[in-house]
């Protein structure tokens, strides 16, 4: 089958590679390049952890971990670092209690630590607000931007065609789709189409996705580590659910690999920011967010007091209403697929999304109801946080 994949981020890149491996003739298109500075996958690193209250993401994360490790051998470079992920649990332990049974079921190694044990492992930390911690031993981080580039390079090596071209939006949905129009005025024909354009999806398919995927502005900060710090003496990845701000999770990735070690101690706040246009939005951080991040860092990591900001990034989440992915066909168009809605947690799932969608297109896997578009027309229930 001839298949066009639009978008070479964490989702589209893996989808294209998996389809190519199944013997299809695949063209992968990206208007700005794989993991470009506007893309959601465009930052240096992303957390990968199996601790989820929804079992499906635990399973997909484990599959992604395996796919990264298998493919790193082909890529000839390391992109997945199993540093361990510390989860700091505060008064609300419900997310951890929901996740625990999945970790047990899927044999994910973890350790529960009281604060004394935590400090013995992670001495440079203040335990204020932390009741206890969970160390997910096999979690860590992925080199995000470089990882997308490696997936696309491998796709091309295995016979796929990559084109740096922008696809025109489908303002009006046709009754059948056999070709798409590019911004340079040319057309490309295919039997099936996958739209994996991340935060741009609501602009490309407005009739189906406007208001369904809402991009939000997310500021990220890299603080300079003291000069005596070496990447060998590393701090693991951490997710702080014990912050004093209600419903706020901060997370951090103190990169230890040679490629990103000098980038600084990365910290982000996992709360959806204001609406943002991925194409035209100016990437300027909000100074109030910087002040809050710095305040948080100084409280949790006293050794970072007065650490200078060395870099900052503006990225965007591509939020769905319930923070679950969308992997489905467009109503009435059985050969047109959407893969997106990563909602701030999609990078780690990208490889598993590629596997799932390649098999869905071939009809060899059952559909996952959680990823269908029509779920979003029903009232939501429960806690929408992941």
Residues within the interface to ligand FAD (CB under 6 A): 6-12, 29-32, 36, 39-41, 46-47, 166-167, 196-200, 204, 218, 220, 268, 315-317, 340, 342, 344-348
User: Smaller CB distance to ligand FAD: residue 133 or 346?
Assistant: 346
Q: Is residue 135 within 8 Å of residue 51, measured between CB atoms? A: no
User: Smaller CB distance to ligand FAD: residue 127 or 322?
Assistant: 322
DSSP annotation of 213 reads S
In whole angstroms, how close is the CB of 172 to ligand FAD at the nearest point? Answer: 16
User: Smaller CB distance to ligand FAD: residue 196 or 235?
Assistant: 196
> Which residues are CB-contacts of 266 (< 8 A; sequence separation ≥ 6)?
44, 45, 220, 221, 222, 252, 253, 254, 255
User: Smaller CB distance to ligand FAD: residue 114 or 279?
Assistant: 279
In whole angstroms, how close is the CB of 76 to ligand FAD at the nearest point? Answer: 23
What is the DSSP code string of 285-312?
A: --HHHHHHHHHHHHHH-GGGTTPPEEEE
CA separation for the pair 359, 347 (Å, rounded): 19
CA separation for the pair 90, 129 (Å, rounded): 6
Could you report how far apart the first and last alpha carbons of the chain are, in Å?
36
Q: Which two tokens stand for residue 256?
A: 């230890």
In whole angstroms, how close is the CB of 332 to ligand FAD at the nearest point? Answer: 21
Q: Is residue 341 within 8 Å of residue 320, measured between CB atoms? A: yes
User: Smaller CB distance to ligand FAD: residue 123 or 185?
Assistant: 185
User: Smaller CB distance to ligand FAD: residue 38 or 300?
Assistant: 38
In whole angstroms, how close is the CB of 377 to ligand FAD at the nearest point? Answer: 22
User: Smaller CB distance to ligand FAD: residue 19 or 220?
Assistant: 220
> Which residues are CB-contacts of 386 (< 8 A; sequence separation ≥ 6)?
52, 53, 54, 57, 323, 343, 344, 345
In whole angstroms, how close is the CB of 167 to ligand FAD at the nearest point? Answer: 4
Q: Is residue 110 within 8 Å of residue 58, measured between CB atoms? A: no
In whole angstroms, how close is the CB of 350 to ligand FAD at the nearest point? Answer: 6
In whole angstroms, how close is the CB of 348 to ligand FAD at the nearest point? Answer: 3
């Amino acid at each position: 089958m001839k298949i066009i994949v639009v978008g070479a981020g964490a989702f589209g890149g893996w989808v294209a590679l998996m389809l190519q491996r199944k013997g299809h003739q695949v063209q992968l298109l990206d208007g700005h390049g794989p993991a470009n500075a506007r893309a959601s996958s465009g930052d240096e690193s992303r957390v990968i952890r199996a601790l989820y209250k929804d079992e499906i993401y635990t399973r997909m994360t484990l599959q992604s971990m395996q796919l990264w490790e298998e493919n790193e051998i082909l890529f000839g470079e390391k992109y997945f670092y199993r540093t361990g992920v510390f989860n700091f649990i505060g008064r609300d332990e419900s997310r951890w209690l929901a996740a625990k049974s999945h970790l047990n079921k899927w044999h994910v190694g973890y350790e529960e630590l009281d604060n004394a044990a935590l400090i013995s492992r992670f001495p440079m930390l203040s335990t204020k607000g932390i009741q206890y911690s969970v160390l997910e031993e096999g979690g860590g981080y992925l080199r995000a931007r470089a990882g997308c580039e490696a997936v696309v390079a491998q796709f091309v090596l295995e016979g796929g065609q990559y084109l740096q071209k922008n696809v025109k939006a489908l303002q009006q949905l046709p009754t059948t789709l056999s070709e798409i129009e590019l911004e340079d005025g040319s057309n490309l024909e295919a039997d099936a189409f996958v739209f994996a354009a991340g935060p741009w999806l609501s602009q490309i398919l407005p009739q189906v996705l406007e208001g369904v995927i809402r991009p939000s502005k997310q500021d990220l900060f890299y603080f300079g580590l003291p000069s005596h710090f070496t990447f060998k003496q590393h701090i693991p990845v951490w997710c702080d659910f014990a912050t004093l701000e209600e419903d706020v999770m901060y997370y951090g990735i103190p990169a230890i690999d040679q490629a990103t070690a000098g980038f600084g101690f990365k910290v982000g706040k996992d709360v959806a920011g204001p609406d943002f246009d991925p194409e035209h939005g100016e990437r300027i951080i909000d100074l109030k967010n910087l002040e809050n991040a710095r305040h948080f860092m100084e409280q949790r990591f006293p050794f970072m007091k007065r650490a200078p900001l060395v870099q900052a990034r503006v990225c965007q989440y591509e939020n769905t209403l319930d923070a679950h992915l969308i992997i489905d066909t467009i109503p009435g168009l059985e050969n047109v697929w959407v893969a997106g809605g990563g909602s701030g947690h999609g990078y780690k799932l990208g490889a598993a999304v590629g596997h799932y969608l390649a098999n869905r297109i071939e009809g060899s896997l059952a559909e996952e109801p959680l990823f269908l578009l029509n779920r979003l027309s029903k009232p939501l229930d429960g806690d929408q946080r992941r």
